[in-house]
Structure 1
Amino acid sequence: MDAMIPLAQFLWLAGALLAAGLATGILAGLFGIGGGAIIVPVLFEVFAAVGVAPELRMHLAVGTSLAIIIPTALRSYAAHRARSAVRADALRRWALPVVLGVVAGTALASVSPDRVLKFAFVAFAALMSGRLLFGRDHWTLGEQLPGRALMSAYGFGVGLSSPLIGISGGGIASVIMTLYRVPIHQAIATSAGLGVLIAIPGALGYVLGGWPHMAELPPLSLGYVSVPGAVLVGSVATLAAPLGARLAHAFTKRQLEVAFGLYLLIVGARFAWQLVA
């Protein structure tokens, strides 16, 4: 009987993750984003449904999200680079501080309680939803990218926050670049390169950070990375994303911004309620 328990738990986890992948793919295609802003809340609810301990759910969701982002970021960066849309100067200035920030953020996450990760996600959701709901195209901080010192500070901040939230950092980096009049296509392309620098060391850090808790984690987990979660959610989300993309054409850009802003607001409120409850 005991031998059947892991198998039963694995089958239930696999079914839940397939459903999560479908939801993630549709939402990603609908809102034009495939990162942790969607994946982390979905995985958090799945891991809650399969009985993962409350103090481990957020870490497992964030670590798995970073693992899912790796192939997406690599493929996206290669495609943008082929079109010569990447701002190589910005990427070079950001590379080292971003990696240093990821190392610091992953180390902080591995020793922090789940409340810290939830608070980081709430802060991210509040800022991004505010930008989507109330932002204006004429908001700027300058006419060109700033000097090395401020760019390094931005890079370290993006790297530090990304492994706490489970995102590739692309959304934050794109906003920073567009506030300095960088064309949106160049901002997105350059941010895809940052995603590679963030997701790989971030995921590896979560594997190492969760290793002492292996006995408490679901089957086939590598530290705070669920291998079934990464494979099933990532593959199904990739297949389901075109459906969401087709749905997106039924709405205007502004309608999608408002919808995604409201989604982040609701998810952020969900985590905020858990922090105060």
Structure 2
Amino acid sequence: MTDLTLTTLIPLILALFVTGAIAGILSGLLGVGGGIVVVPVLFWVFKFLGYPPELGMQVAVGSSLLTVAITALTAAKSHHTRGSVDLGIIRRWAPFMALGALCGGAVAGLVKGPFLMLVFGTVALLVAWNMALPRTRILAPALPERRGAQPAMAAGVGLVSSMMGLGSGTLGVPLMTAFSVPVHRAVGTAAALGLVVGSAGTLAMLVTGLGVAGRPPLSIGYINLIAVAFVLPLSVLCAPYGTKLAHALDPIWIKRAFALFLGATALRMLTAAF
């Protein structure tokens, strides 16, 4: 374990506060979910503190899911007041997304850390590529009406998002926009569904992490309350500002800049996995 002094502790705390602020803004602005930033930062923080990568990754995922759930509630309220939450999609997707997220959280709590790092790095690299594209590829003029199609989509998004410690927006927004859901409506709907993914995933990570040896202090299952306490406040406070920016700006250049950051983060995570 790394010896903690003010010299090392203060920069770590500041990094977690800044991470929370960025996560909240991105949650409202791009609908990607703050977990895409929170997970790698927490992973590197726990690694710096001397925790093994396999345990650090699981605690990072579990802690991120709790912050995602609470931040999503704030972002969803802000989007709902602007009329950009599709309640029909939520009714159709929420039960299956919750089931997928429970399974994803259970898998994340039981598999080895390097596997989670590989999943996170691969999916994050694909998301970065998608965000860097000049325009959204449209697959169909509407969401599929075939029986089982949308439940399968929702369960898949919930499964992978929960395994990565994310809300539903990182995968859900590009999926919805590919089926012609307007981007602002997709972002708002994904923000609301983030509460479903975050809550179900948190429950699974809490249960699977009970009794695991060597976890950081004040951990319940794979949820570290200290990390959540530092990340969450600014994440919740900044989410509505991200929502305002989403309705005021064309986020294309922000998306491209974030794609570069995410691509670099994904490559570092993939390197660490091996």
- Give me the TM-score of the superposition, normalised by structure 1: 0.85
Is residue 182 of structure 1 aligned with residue 181 of structure 2?
A: yes
Instruction: Report if aligned partners of 1:26, 1:242 keep a CA contact under 8 Å in 2.
Output: no
Q: Which residue of 1 aligns with 2:40?
A: 41
Name which of 234, 247, 265 aligns with 1:267: 265
- Give 1:140's aligned residue: 138
Number of corresponding residues: 267
Amino acid of the residue matched to residue 25 of structure 2?
G
Q: Which moved more, 1:7-16 or 1:252-261?
A: 7-16
Match of 1:150 in 2: 149
User: Which residue type is aligned with residue 162 of structure 2?
Assistant: P
**What's the CA shift string for 1:128-179, capped at 9, x where partnerless?**
1111122523x21111111142111110100110111010011211111111
Moved more, 230-239 or 49-58: 230-239
Which residues of structure 2 form unaligned runs of 5+? none
Q: Match of 2:254?
A: 256
Residue 252 of structure 1 deviates from its aligned partner by: 7.0
Q: Structure 1 residue 238: deviation in Å? A: 4.7
- Change in CA separation of 1:238 and 1:74 when aligned onto 2, cut-off 3 Å: closer
- Counterpart in 2 of 1:97? 96
* Aligned-partner Cα distance in 1 for 2:201–2:67: 11
Choose 1 or 2 for highest CA Rg: 1
Number of the residue aligned with 1:217: 215
| CA displacement at 1:26 relative to structure 2 | 3.9
Shift in Å, 1:225 = 0.7
Distance in structure 2 (CA, Å) of the matches to 1:11 and 1:218: 20
Q: Specify whether residues 17 and 104 from structure 1 end up closer, same or farther in structure 2 by C-alpha distance, changes over 3 A only.
A: same
The one-letter amino acid paired with 2:15 is: A
1:205 is matched with 204
Letter in 1 for 2:105: T
| 1:84 to 1:28, Cα distance in 2 relative to 1, 3 A | closer
Point out where structure 1 has 5 or more consecutive residues left out of the alignment: none
Cα RMSD, aligned residues only: 3.0
> Percent identical across equivalent pairs?
33
Distance across 1 between alignment mates of 2:148 and 2:238: 41
Q: Deviations over 1:31-74 (max 9, x none)?
A: 93551111111111111111122220100000010111122111
SS of equivalent to 1:21: helix
Structure 2 counterpart SS, 1:203: helix
Q: Give the corresponding residue for 2:168.
A: 169
Question: Which residue in 2 is equivalent to 1:19?
Answer: 15
Q: Residue 141 of structure 1 contacts residue 179 of structure 1 at CA under 8 Å; is this kept in 2?
A: yes
Q: Distance in 2 between matches of 1:82 and 1:28?
A: 18
Which of 232, 235, 251 lines up with 2:233 in the alignment?
235
- Separation in structure 2 between the aligned mates of residue 247 and residue 95 of structure 1, nearest angstrom: 26
Distance 1:236 1:56 in 2: 26
Q: Within 5 Å, which residues of 2 pair with 1:73-92?
A: 73-92=72-91
Report the CA distance shift for 1:66/1:10 in structure 2 as closer, same or farther (over 3 A): farther
Aligned to 2:119: 120
Query: TM-score, normalization: structure 2?
Result: 0.86
> C-alpha displacement at 1:83, in angstroms?
3.2
